[in-house]
Structure 1
Amino acid sequence: MDSDKLLGEFLRARRELITPEQVGLLPSGSRRTPGLRREEVAMLAGVSTDYYIRLEQGRERHPSDRVLGALSQVLNLSADATAYLHDLAHPRPRQIRAPDQPGQVKPALLRLIRSWPYTPAIVTSRWMDVLGSNQMADALYDGLDHRDNLLRLIFLNPASRRFYRDWEESARSKVAQLRALSGADLDDPYLTDLVGELSLKSTDFRRLWARHDVSTENVATRRFHHRDVGDLTLTYELFNINGALNQKLIVFQAEPGSPSAHALDLLGSLAALTSP
């Protein structure tokens, strides 16, 4: 991945997602390409068209904070996407370090989550490799291929479209999280291999990766369909793990007393019956 072109690629992708009506411009007939024109972004951001074109082409790499603020407003960027934009424009000095590799989960953490009989929990790496899980999480994802990585699961397993009842929303969220996690550091060999594999094997991944969505979503509600207990609506929460570089703990819960809570109880009972 050419990190020198990331700023321009991000601006172009986000520009193409904004309609003239969203920024108060009058319709001007049919357009050959989607979204705003470069000159429209430049006008709304208060910069010259030539300057903005240089930004998208990668010939201008050091815009001021004022310009970045104006562009984030024109392109309707979220707080996460605005922070990402600033990171691309003013990248921190990179330290020479070994490529990220999946790590080992602390035994104490594994003992903790495996003591939860009715709460699915998994530990993931920076790139969403599943490093550890408890019995309930294994039961929740039972029968699904590519469980080693949450991105591979959702994009490379056709059964994921039934498992994730809101597949498009879930897939877009995971890709946006991957963008946020990578920041401007897209030359990590492990990430490069993962994005290359998913891009080669999934047109949906290519489509969503090209949007340049960015999100650090730590709490969300997702709807699942489990082959044994039916539909579940679960809230997941993502926690950083102190002392474990780039590892995350994901915990799933149902609203107390809800049908999903009863389904989780049933799933826990079934998992206990089938456990060795």
Structure 2
Amino acid sequence: MSGNHLGEFLRARRAALRPQDAGLASHGVRRVAGLRREEVAVLAGVNADYYARLEQGRERNPSAQVLDALGRALRLDPDGRAHLHQLAGTVPSSRLAPTTDRVSPALRQLLDGLLAAPAFVINRSLDVLAANTLAQALHSPFEPMDNLARMVFLDPAARQFYEWWGHTAQAVVGNLRRAAGLDPDDSGLRELVGTLSRHSPDFTHLWNTHTVHGKTRAPKHLLHPDVGPLALTYQAFDVGDAPGQQMIVYQAEPLSSSAHALSLLGSLHATSNQAARGGRP
């Protein structure tokens, strides 16, 4: 990640937008993908030279009004607009709050109390900081269950486990891009991005799109080797006393085949653990 984060984001989103997407006519062969700088400037109502300086990193203090106009011109969704403002420093950023990877005893107790739902805690870099027994059972195909991005892109189990692997991969990268906007100087995130870039061309391609996503309620379609297909939804909760941490809770529709499969998975995992302890309860 270079120092011109704002310019990189603007260039990537401009390249991803076709003229027809912005209501512009396209004449002749274009030398570059997406919109031209001049077209973005016209759509946003800003001077073309000023916009060029923004992309080049020669102008680093755009107003909130200019950023709002650029967000509309580039057809950014709410996550993308928030990311744009964070990169420019025009809104308070939660990166200013100290973060921690320590999971409190109270939160661990809450995780362990969720017996019928897989639940785990992650940080902004998608490191898994803690997980309850059912979450560990659910992710047992991975070795280890340590970082969601590493698991998705570098663990061979991922492409069978995530039935919609491509959608999951996009969401993971979008979350990492959002984290980079909150704290571009995070050394752990830089190291993770470097590792993934070296070993996964799929990650590199998605990372270079600069697409930003926050956690949603999107369904998860998983295929577990022990219990078969699982259709789950999830909720993401910010941990109030630990900035940067989120608790993720998966759920199955009550009385559905996925709910029965989760229950069976918990029983199998408990039996396996008991056997590993030599039959001791």
Pair in the same fold by TM > 0.5: yes
* Residue deviations 1:176-211 (CA, integer Å, cap 9, x gap): 112222325211211111111111111111111111
Distance 2:93 2:83 in 1: 16
1:175 equivalent in structure 2: 173
Distance 2:48 2:221 in 1: 45
Instruction: Tell me the amino acid that sits aligned with residue 2 of structure 1.
Output: S
- From 250, 254, 261, the equivalent of 2:248 is 250
SS in 1 for 2:103: coil
Q: Name structure 1 gaps, 5 residues minimum.
A: none
2:27 equivalent in structure 1: 28
**CA contact 1:119–1:251 (8 Å) conserved in 2:** yes
The more displaced of 104-113 and 258-267 is 104-113
Distance 1:258 1:53 in 2: 55
Instruction: Tell me the amino acid that sits aligned with residue 165 of structure 2.
Output: W
2:8 equivalent in structure 1: 9
- From 271, 274, 277, the equivalent of 1:273 is 271
SS in 1 for 2:236: strand
- From 145, 148, 152, the equivalent of 1:147 is 145
Instruction: Tell me the amino acid that sits aligned with residue 36 of structure 1.
Output: L
Pick closer, same or farther for the CA change 1:213–1:147 going to 2, 3 Å: same
Shift of 1:91: 5.4
Identity score, percent = 49
Pick closer, same or farther for the CA change 1:86–1:155 going to 2, 3 Å: same
1:109 equivalent in structure 2: 107
SS in 1 for 2:226: coil
**CA contact 1:6–1:184 (8 Å) conserved in 2:** no
SS in 2 for 1:196: helix
Distance 1:235 1:223 in 2: 9
1:38 equivalent in structure 2: 37
Distance 1:153 1:30 in 2: 41
Instruction: Tell me the amino acid that sits aligned with residue 65 of structure 2.
Output: R
2:278 equivalent in structure 1: none
Distance 1:95 1:140 in 2: 31
- From 116, 127, 130, the equivalent of 2:125 is 127
Shift of 1:252: 0.4
Shift of 1:96: 11
Shift of 1:213: 1.2
Aligned positions of 1:28-107 closer than 5 A: 28-90=27-89, 103-107=101-105
Instruction: Tell me the amino acid that sits aligned with residue 131 of structure 1.
Output: L
Shift of 1:261: 1.5
Distance 1:69 1:97 in 2: 23
Distance 2:58 2:144 in 1: 41
Distance 1:96 1:209 in 2: 21
Instruction: Tell me the amino acid that sits aligned with residue 83 of structure 2.
Output: Y
Distance 1:109 1:96 in 2: 22
Distance 1:29 1:137 in 2: 54
Shift of 1:165: 0.8
Distance 2:16 2:62 in 1: 22
TM-score by length of 1: 0.91
RMSD between superposed Cα atoms in Å: 2.3
**CA contact 1:237–1:250 (8 Å) conserved in 2:** yes
Instruction: Tell me the amino acid that sits aligned with residue 81 of structure 1.
Output: G
Shift of 1:146: 4.0
Aligned residues: 274
* Residue deviations 1:135-192 (CA, integer Å, cap 9, x gap): 1111111121342111110011122011111111111111111222232521121111
Q: Name structure 2 gaps, 5 residues minimum.
A: 275-281
